[in-house]
Structures are given as C-alpha cells and as structure tokens.
Structure 1
Amino acid sequence: MHEAVGLSELLRPVRSRLGTAVGLQAVAAVVAVVPFAAVAELARVLLVTGPVDEGRAWAVAALAAGALVVWVLLSSLAGALAHHADLDFQLSVRRRLVDRLGRVPLGWFTDRGAGGIGKAVQHDVDTMHHLVAHALLNLTASALTPLVTLVYLFWVDWRMALILLIPIVIGVASFVRAAMTMEGQTAAFDGAQQRISSRVVEFVEGIAVVKMFGQAGRAHRQYAQAADDFADFFLAWIAKAYRTSAIAELAFSPVTVLLTVLVGGTAMVSAGHLEAIELLPFAILGLGLAGPMQALHYYSHDVEKSSAAAKRVGALLAAPELVVPAEPRRPDLHDGVRVELSGVEFAYDADRPVLRDIDLALEPGTVTALVGASGSGKTTLAKLLPRFFDPTAGAVTIGGVDVRDIAPEQLYRLVTFVLQDVQLLDASVRDNIRLARPDADEETVRRAARAAAVDERIDALPRGYDSVVGRDVRFSGGEAQRISIARAILADTPVVVLDEATAHADPESEALIQDALSELAAGRTVLVVAHRLASVVGVDRIVVLDHGRIVEHGTHEELLAAEGRYARMWRLQEQAGAGALTGGSR
C-alpha cells in the first residue's frame, strides 16, 4: 500500500524556481516600504522652518522613485517565475495522475464516483495553481511588508507604534478566533462539494434511464437535496465565524486605524512626547499596515485549501497499481482458448466476502451464462477474467496461464469485455470503434459496424463515420451498445465477457443487439452475465450463483428438469412477463 503523496512532494519538481520567486518577492516586500517612508522623510525636509535643503529633498525623492522601480521589477520577475513554475507543476501533476490512473486495476474505479476523480484531476489541480502562482507570493508580501513597516515605525517612536498596534492586535486576535472556529471544516466543505459534483454526474449520465422509468423527479430531488444540504452546511459554517470576522474587518479598516493614529497622536503631541511632524509616518504607513495583515488571513486560507486539495490528489497518486509480472508468460492458444477458475474466492475487504469456492471451466468456442439474484456475485466473477480485480484465493487461468502472469497489454488482446454502461469517447465514431485497433482501415471498421448492426445508423449521419460523439450525434443506449459491440468485434479477441449487454435496451434494440452478440460470440469463448433468463436459453451452459457460490449448472432444459433455483427463477420471470402483458392490454 503506497502512502499518500503530500503537497511538499508534489511541489518537488518546481521547488527551486518557486523558492527563487518567493525570495524575490521577499526583497520586493522590503523595498515596498521605502517609497512610503521616503514620503514621510520628504515631508520632514520640506516642512522645516527656514531654508529647504533642496539636495536632500531631491535625494529622498530619487530614492523613493528608484525603490518603486525596483519593487515593480522584482514583483514582476517573481510573478513570472511563479507562473512559469505553475505551468510545469500542473503539467507534472496531471501527467502523474493520468499515468497512475492508467495503471490501477479497472475495478478500483467501480467504488469511486466520476465526480470525485474529476474534481481531483481538474478542480483540485486548479486550486493548487492558485497556491503556486499567487498565494505563496502574496503571503510572503503580506507577512514581510507589515513587519518591515513596524520596525521602521518603532525606530521613529516606539510609544506611537504601540498605540498603532492596538487595532492591529484586536484584528489579529479576532481572525485567529475565527480560524479556530472554522478549523477542521474545510474537509467537510470539500466533501459537501464533492457530493454535489457526484449527484450532478449521476443525474446527467443517468437521465435517459431515469426518464425511461419515470424517475426523473426522484433523481432531481436527490440532486436538489444535496444542494440544500450544502447550502445549510455553508450557512452554518459561515455563521460560526461571522461575528469575529466582522470585528476583525472593523479593526483593520482604514478609518479605525486612522482614528487610532489621530487620537493617540494628538494625545502624544499635546503631552509634549511627540513632534507634530513625527506623526506623519504613522498616518501614512499605518493605513498601509492593516491591509496586508488582513490579507494574511485570506492567503493562509488559500494555503489550507491547497493542502486539502493536495491530499485528495495525493490519495489518487497513491492508488494501488495493477501488479505486473516481472517475467510475463504467454498462454497456449492452440485449439481455442480455455478459461478456468479454480478454488476462486474474492472479497472487497475481510468483512465482505463476495465469491467462495468457485470452480468453473469455460471451454473453447462455447457460451456460458452466469445467472442469479442481484448481489449473488455474477458481475464480480466476470470481472476477474480481464483483471478488474484479482482473486483473494485460487486462480483464474487463460490458456493454462494465471492471468496475473500475463502482461496486461497481452491480456487485453485475449479478453474483450462489453459492459452494460457503455462509455463512448468525445471522438469520431470511427475512432470509437477502432479504439482497440487504431490502425484498422476503413473497410475493417465498416465490417465490424455491419456485424454489429449499426452501420446503417452511422451512414445516415450527416458526417457519417467522421461524426463526433456528443457533438454531432448523441446515440441512444441501444445504439451505443452496438457501437461497443462493433469495437469488441474489431478487437477480435478469443475470449469475450458480456455484462448485461441488453440491460437498458428497448425491445427493437435488444433484438439488434442480440444479433450483434451472436456475431461477436461466433467461435469464441464467451462468458455472459444475464438478468433476463430468456436471453440465454440457447447458450451451451448456464451457471447459477447464490451468495457467491455455484449452486447449479447445466443447459436450460437440464436446469428446468432439476426443479431447483433456476427453475424457480424461470417461473417467476415468466409470471412477471405475463403480468406485464396483461397490464399492458388494459
């Protein structure tokens, strides 16, 4: 198990450039005080009684102008370096994410919503961009500029500096209290955002299905509930820190600072402890002191958000990789491909055993169907063949070789899987079909589409096979399934796994899909996961699962004659079908 990658490690490729940028910004923050101090010094020179020292006045003005130029140059250079580092940082992180996600077991994705992964890859990387390109530099300036200012003001008059600190201390204390009130809520805030993202993805991706079954209102209510929960959480979160934040804002406001300087300065001048001209630096620099101190709170919050984002990205980068054999073996492909599961057990964790004592052989050129109640382990068993998961005990062999000893790229040239939830890429129809064989020529692609009974539908599109999915055309569930089958036909693997391939199809599409599946299955070793028993009546062998165990197997006729679990399931589905027909005739 890999440890999660932290923010420091993610920043490693750009750490030196980022450190240089922060160093330049630190010097710029010190230089930024010089023009304001020069204005106060210039006032002393110009407001003296008697002749004005013009040389000194021009020297102070030149110093102020020079410091301003240096500040602009250093700040610009620091910003350019930070942004350059940020571009490389984002590229590095996204490449690492893509590389890592490309090497994790396919089953790892089944327990994670697309919203959470998408948030980490896009939103969380963008959040860290703000840290690298902006927040660290702003934090440096906001911390150093007030510090240098205070040093200068204490040098002018320490008593007046202490008076100036009164509203500043009150503001800082209020912000600290607000931060303590909100401590630990950032993770909850991100979790609430992720729940909304997941609900949006679920609602959008499943809208066709929920509308088909009249559940659009329910799906929308689930999203609306997630949005309402987020609003309630956010309002409660903000309310906790609102009062203390309001006090801090009031303490840091220019009016409060100026009022403190004028009242305290008047008292000091009246008591003879301060010359009136010496009040000017406090009035000028004091107003600029509160702003950076106030900004420290917000920039520190940016750092906190970026750290939380880095934890989520780091968790993805620590996802377990698919174990690749050091010395891959090649299966024996003579006389067809035999698949065998011997003593197979599988559990998602120690408390959730899914499969137990599975012994099953899939003979070359045969079709085997897995049936059983929901949760019986059908899909999990089927996903062991293409290594969505590895068994926790026993072995899955293809051509006499354990699938764990076959190189992944070789395994996917042996096994094709067609899932019930088809994913089409934002690419041309042609590229979607030839995903497994990018070098396939036009005629080969068309043959696969004709075999999958989807060629006519594609030709009817204005741009034909050049049509871009999601932009030029939106396929129905049945059409998308047939494109997926065309993809599998083109892959031409000796082993095919079909998981509820007709689950979301209407009757007309189901007939076309069944024809396409018959073409796909010809001469191959096929494992079918089926819910509707009528769709697998003619297969070579039916295997019945119950609570992760094989309880029956045989042909349709043999299982009906045995009067066991399969026969009971068959009668129930026949009754349900008759009831639907009766209800539909009313």
Structure 2
Amino acid sequence: MSARALLRPVRGRLILAVALQALSSVSATGVLVAMAMIGDRLLAGAGAVCTIALAGAGAALLSVLCAAAAGALTHLADTGLQLRLRRQLASRLSRVPLSWYAGRGSGAVKKTVHDDVAALHHLVAHTVLDVTAVVVTPLAALVHLATVDPVLAALCVLPAVAGALLFRRAMANAGPQMAAYGRAATEINNAAVEFVDGIAVLKTFGRAGEAHHRYRRAADAFSDFFTTWAAGTTAVTTASQLVVTAPAVLLTVLAAAVPAVAAGVVTPGAVVAFVLLAPAVAAPVATIGRQTQALRTGLSAAGAVADVLRTPVRTPGTAEPDGTTIRLHDVGFGYADGVPVLSGLDLELPPGTVTALVGPSGAGKSTVARLIAGLHEVTTGRITVGGVDVRDLDPAVLHHTVGFVLQDVVLLRASVAENIALARPGATAAQIEAAARTARIHDRIAAAPGGYRAIVGTELVLSGGEAQRLSIARALLADPPVLILDEATAYADPHAEAEIQRALSALTAGRTMLVIAHRLAGIRHADRIVVLDAGRITEQGRHAGLLAAGGRYARMWRAQQLTPALEETA
C-alpha cells in the first residue's frame, strides 16, 4: 500500500474540499478587486459604487461559507481516515510475527501507530486546504492585475520568483535532512520508552542518575542536528521571506508605478489595484517553507503507516490437530542478528507427562517455550501439535491447545475480571472467581475497592507474586490441555513462591507440561528432565539417572545444594 492508496478512501471528499477552498480563495480575491474598483471609481469622480460594494460583500460571504464547508469536509475525512487506519493497524499488528517487533524499539512502533497517524490529521484536515489557498490566491490576483496593466503585473512576480529561488537554495538538501530528522525523532521516542521502563531497575541499583542518560544524549543529538541544519539555512530562508513582505513588494511596484502615473501611462485607480493585490501575489512564498514542511511530514507519516500496513502477516491455517502430542523436529532458531539460539533440537512431549527443561542462562530454554506457543517461528525444522505444524494452525486453535505462564507477566490496564478472562471472554463471574480462588489470589482481589471490577495498575496494584497468581488464574480459566511454565516463580519471595506452587499444583493436574526451571529441586519428580546447553540437548532422563551419570545436570544439582549451605555459614 502506497501513501496515495492510503488516502484513496477520502479522495472524493478531499477533491470536493479543494474545489470549495479554491472558490473561497477566488472569492476572497474578488473582495480586494471590488475594493480596487471602488477606489478607481472614487478617484475618477464616478459614482454608483453600491453595486460593486454589494458584490464585494457577497464575495466575502461566499468565501467564508466555502472555506467553512471545505474545512468541515476535510475534518470529517480525517476523522474517518484515522478511525479506519487505527483499526487496520491494530488488525495488522495483531497478526505480524513477533520477530517483526524484535527488530524495532517500542518507540518506533509507537511513532507509527500514534504519532504518524496523528500527523495525517494536519495533512488531510489542514495542509491540503492551505496549499490550495497558497496556489489559487496569487494566481487569481495575478490574472486580474494582468488585465489592469500587464507590465506592472509582471513586475509583481519578481519578488515572488526571487523568494522562491532563495527558498529553493535553502532547501537544497532537505530530503536527506528530513530522513535524519525522522531518525533522530525515533531515537528520542525509543529513549523515552527505555527511560520509563528501566528507571525502577536503575534506582534499585542506586544508579538513578543514569536512567535519563540515553534520553539526554538523544535529545542533545537532536538539538545539535537541528541547530546545525537551521544555522546553515537561516540567512537564506530569512532573505526569501523578506523579499516577499508587503513593504518590499509595494516598494518594488510603486518604484515603477509612481513615475508611470506622473507620465500619464497608468491611472491612479490602477495603482490602487496594485497596492491592494500585489502583496497577495508574492506573500504565499513566505509560507512555502511551512507548507512544504507540512506536506513532507504528512506524506512521510503516510508512507510510514503504509509500510506497516504492507508488513506480511501469516495466514491462519485451517488444519485441526489430532491429539496434543508436541514434537520438535530438528528445530533451529536465530534472531535478526543472525546468532543461532537453537540448533538441531529434537524433543517430544507425550500427553499427560511432565517434561522439565533446565540449563544455564542463555541456553535457549525460554526460546523453546515461545516457539511452541507460536510467539516466534522456527528458522529451520518444524514444531507439530497433534501432528500439525504450528504454522498451519489457526492461532486461536493453537492457544486453546497450548497455554503458558511466563516469568514476565503482562497484565492489561483493564479490570481484574477482564485480565483473568482474557482467553475466555465469555466466562461467567462465578467461573472467574473459581479460577482466582484456585490460584490463591481471590482474597487479595476481594480486599481491593471494586473487587473484580478494579482496574489493574491504577485501582489495584499487584506485587510480582500476586501478578503471577493472576496469570495462573488466567491459565486455569483457559483450561488448555498443554501448559508451558517458564520460570513461574523466578522473582517470587519464599512466601509468594509457596502460594504460587500451591496454585500451580491445581493447574498442572492431568495436563501435558513443559516446565522451564532454574531451581532444580522443584522438578526432580518430572517424568523427564532435558538439559539444554548452547541451544542443544546435552542430556535427558530422570533425576536419579542424571545424577548417576555425573554430567552437567549433576554438577548443577551439586552447585545448588552447596549454595544454601554457604549462605547459612556466611
């Protein structure tokens, strides 16, 4: 989709609005023409100016009405366009692969979805009409002046030409500069998001002063860039505006008109017409920079939105899984930087079994979980659920079959009930409460003002362990046959961990489980323990057998058994 195609749904309204604005500009020029004609009649000693005055008043009224109608049309077009684009963006972004997000900062996505769509308001609602007025008004004035005196009319054009040439010189390198401007603005957006998201962690480590460093660097870089750009163009830009000011234009015209009147070549009435209309011929050049910038910004925003709407999405499959057996077939995966994370991974999760995935940090454990849940796509190989490749499954079917509880809980700024019922929007209040009770979070919710209607994050602020239990309640209500637990107790204190473990006990009964754990004591009774290291499976078996083998798992176990003893003697 191109920027032009993006605006196609409102093209009809915009064309009509442009026509009305053009008529408004011509009518406004007609008011000045009427004034010039009245001046000419009065200077010539002729009467009967009432008809002209009435015509001028009618032209003024027509100009106001047409301008108002044009503005209403463009604002209606803008409202409809923004609603359509926001819906299209929401639909598209909900279906793009998560790898698309991995290559972009939150600020870049926010800039497109919010800032660029908002920038289209100025393009559609204002800039189109402003540019029309800038073009039509001087042309209408020039046409009339040419009928009065062609030589003086040609003289009126000289300041406009000079101003345009000077402005062109000032904007000679505008294309690359605007691209750099967009990159600098995106960097500020990214830095602002990072500042908000990371300040709590930096404060925890006593480095709050560094929280704003990237933002300051981005802001300083933007300031330096813009100052340098402006310094190189200010003199020429100022000159381009000065030569088209009313005093400069009138001085140019009167320098020729006064001697012409003295010589009897031009009538005083004709000079009145030039005094009134000549500034209108050149004045729009003073706004050409602002209008050009507005056009560039609007078209650039339209292009950015169009690029997102062109992002390929995965077409949902229609295949139905036969059972819930999950298999990883020679799976390989790497992020955009090309560094491999997983390589040659073969793994099977039989129905009704508990498989524990362990290994050092960075081994690829969480990546496996996200691949099975369809949050990323494999680079090589395939993952099947019930014999069907996850890429051929409808995401709704996949997520109904495979649920997950991640260590980093994401809660929506919505009611507690809506957060729990995320996977089952039609769940009853009794079902939501039952899931919360089983997850050991009901008492906390009931104690909050508003209870299950409280808005998470504002009316109800949850600790890490409480948020984790809310996430477990969500999974309980969804009731998937396959469940992935990724370090579900990683950030919990001992009391919260005990509560979470009790909630997980209710959640895991009768399900196929993949448990990703750092604390080995919690998974020693698993049906199978798989050791992952550097993206490959190095060991697998039951707890006792792996200890007897004396490999990586045994060393990890001994290290974790030794740590509490060292802490007690410290």
Sort the TM-score into its range (normalised by shorter chain).
over 0.9
Question: Counterpart of 1:149 in structure 2: which amino acid?
Answer: A
Residues 1:138 and 2:123 are matched in the alignment: no
Change (3 A) 1:468 1:53: same
Partner of 1:8: 4
Question: Counterpart of 1:53 in structure 2: which amino acid?
Answer: G
Q: Aligned with 2:413: secondary structure?
A: coil
Change (3 A) 1:405 1:182: closer
Q: Aligned with 1:341: secondary structure?
A: strand
Question: Counterpart of 1:30 in structure 2: which amino acid?
Answer: V
Q: Aligned with 1:384: secondary structure?
A: helix
Change (3 A) 1:187 1:579: farther
Q: Which residue of the other structure, out of 23, 39, 62, is the alignment partner of 1:27?
A: 23
Q: Aligned with 1:32: secondary structure?
A: helix
Residues 1:95 and 2:84 are matched in the alignment: no
Question: Counterpart of 2:47 in structure 1: which amino acid?
Answer: D
Partner of 1:231: 223
Residues 1:495 and 2:482 are matched in the alignment: yes
Indicate if the aligned counterparts of 1:25 and 1:141 stay in contact, CA closer than 8 A: yes
How many angstroms does 1:272 deviate by? Answer: 5.0
How many angstroms does 1:328 deviate by? Answer: 1.9
Residues 1:126 and 2:151 are matched in the alignment: no
Q: Which residue of the other structure, out of 302, 312, 320, is the alignment partner of 1:320?
A: 312
How many angstroms does 1:222 deviate by? Answer: 2.5
Partner of 1:216: 208
Indicate if the aligned counterparts of 1:368 and 1:527 stay in contact, CA closer than 8 A: yes
Aligned residues, how many?
570
Consecutive unaligned residues in structure 1, runs of 5 or more: none
What is the alpha-carbon distance in structure 2 between the residues aligned to residue 259 and residue 322 of structure 1?
66
1:129-184 deviations in Å (ceiling 9; x for gaps): 11111111111111111122122223322322333333322221222122223322
Question: Counterpart of 1:234 in structure 2: which amino acid?
Answer: F
Partner of 1:200: 192
1:190-224 deviations in Å (ceiling 9; x for gaps): 22222222222233234444433444333332333
How many angstroms does 1:77 deviate by? Answer: 1.5
| TM-score with structure 2 setting the length | 0.92
Question: Counterpart of 1:475 in structure 2: which amino acid?
Answer: L
Change (3 A) 1:531 1:169: farther
What is the alpha-carbon distance in structure 2 between the residues aligned to residue 516 and residue 216 of structure 1?
36
How many angstroms does 1:303 deviate by? Answer: 1.4
Indicate if the aligned counterparts of 2:260 and 2:266 stay in contact, CA closer than 8 A: yes
Change (3 A) 1:454 1:206: farther
What is the alpha-carbon distance in structure 1 between the residues aligned to residue 13 and residue 119 of structure 2?
19
Q: Aligned with 2:400: secondary structure?
A: coil
Partner of 1:301: 293
Question: Counterpart of 1:140 in structure 2: which amino acid?
Answer: T
1:475-506 deviations in Å (ceiling 9; x for gaps): 22222222111111111101112233334434
Question: Counterpart of 1:458 in structure 2: which amino acid?
Answer: I
What is the alpha-carbon distance in structure 1 between the residues aligned to residue 557 and residue 206 of structure 2?
27
Indicate if the aligned counterparts of 1:143 and 1:296 stay in contact, CA closer than 8 A: no
Q: Aligned with 1:413: secondary structure?
A: helix
What is the alpha-carbon distance in structure 1 between the residues aligned to residue 186 and residue 489 of structure 2?
31
What is the alpha-carbon distance in structure 2 between the residues aligned to residue 111 and residue 118 of structure 1?
14
Change (3 A) 1:149 1:88: same
Residues 1:370 and 2:357 are matched in the alignment: yes
Indicate if the aligned counterparts of 2:97 and 2:376 stay in contact, CA closer than 8 A: yes
Change (3 A) 1:453 1:226: farther
More deviation, 233-242/211-220: 211-220
1:275-312 deviations in Å (ceiling 9; x for gaps): 33322122111233343232232122111111111122
Partner of 2:392: 405
Q: Aligned with 1:11: secondary structure?
A: helix
What is the alpha-carbon distance in structure 2 between the residues aligned to residue 66 and residue 434 of structure 1?
63
What is the alpha-carbon distance in structure 2 between the residues aligned to residue 255 and residue 505 of structure 1?
74
What is the alpha-carbon distance in structure 2 between the residues aligned to residue 579 and residue 240 of structure 1?
66
Partner of 1:172: 164
Partner of 1:425: 412
What is the alpha-carbon distance in structure 2 between the residues aligned to residue 413 and residue 134 of structure 1?
47
Q: Aligned with 2:234: secondary structure?
A: helix
Query: Pairwise mapping of residues 345-360 of structure 1 onto structure 2 (< 5 A)?
Result: 345-348=332-335, 351-360=338-347
Consecutive unaligned residues in structure 2, runs of 5 or more: none
Q: Which residue of the other structure, out of 321, 331, 349, is the alignment partner of 1:330?
A: 321
What is the alpha-carbon distance in structure 1 between the residues aligned to residue 391 and residue 242 of structure 2?
65
Residues 1:162 and 2:154 are matched in the alignment: yes
Residues 1:479 and 2:466 are matched in the alignment: yes
Q: Aligned with 2:355: secondary structure?
A: strand
More deviation, 454-463/266-275: 266-275
Question: Counterpart of 2:440 in structure 1: which amino acid?
Answer: A
Indicate if the aligned counterparts of 1:21 and 1:81 stay in contact, CA closer than 8 A: yes
How many angstroms does 1:578 deviate by? Answer: 6.6
What is the alpha-carbon distance in structure 2 between the residues aligned to residue 10 and residue 235 of structure 1?
33
| TM-score with structure 1 setting the length | 0.90
Q: Aligned with 2:484: secondary structure?
A: strand
Q: Which residue of the other structure, out of 48, 53, 63, is the alignment partner of 2:47?
A: 53
What is the alpha-carbon distance in structure 1 between the residues aligned to residue 565 and residue 271 of structure 2?
95
Query: Pairwise mapping of residues 460-479 of structure 1 onto structure 2 (< 5 A)?
Result: 460-479=447-466
Change (3 A) 1:539 1:267: farther
Q: Aligned with 2:131: secondary structure?
A: helix
1:369-396 deviations in Å (ceiling 9; x for gaps): 3333444322222112121233233221
What is the alpha-carbon distance in structure 1 between the residues aligned to residue 460 and residue 146 of structure 2?
71
Change (3 A) 1:476 1:417: same
Indicate if the aligned counterparts of 2:99 and 2:335 stay in contact, CA closer than 8 A: no
Query: Pairwise mapping of residues 50-89 of structure 1 onto structure 2 (< 5 A)?
Result: 52-54=46-48, 57-89=49-81
What is the alpha-carbon distance in structure 2 between the residues aligned to residue 512 and residue 264 of structure 1?
93
How many angstroms does 1:342 deviate by? Answer: 1.6
What is the alpha-carbon distance in structure 1 between the residues aligned to residue 143 and residue 526 of structure 2?
87
How many angstroms does 1:267 deviate by? Answer: 4.2
Change (3 A) 1:100 1:559: same
Question: Counterpart of 2:36 in structure 1: which amino acid?
Answer: A
Indicate if the aligned counterparts of 1:182 and 1:241 stay in contact, CA closer than 8 A: no
How many angstroms does 1:560 deviate by? Answer: 3.8
Q: Aligned with 2:473: secondary structure?
A: helix
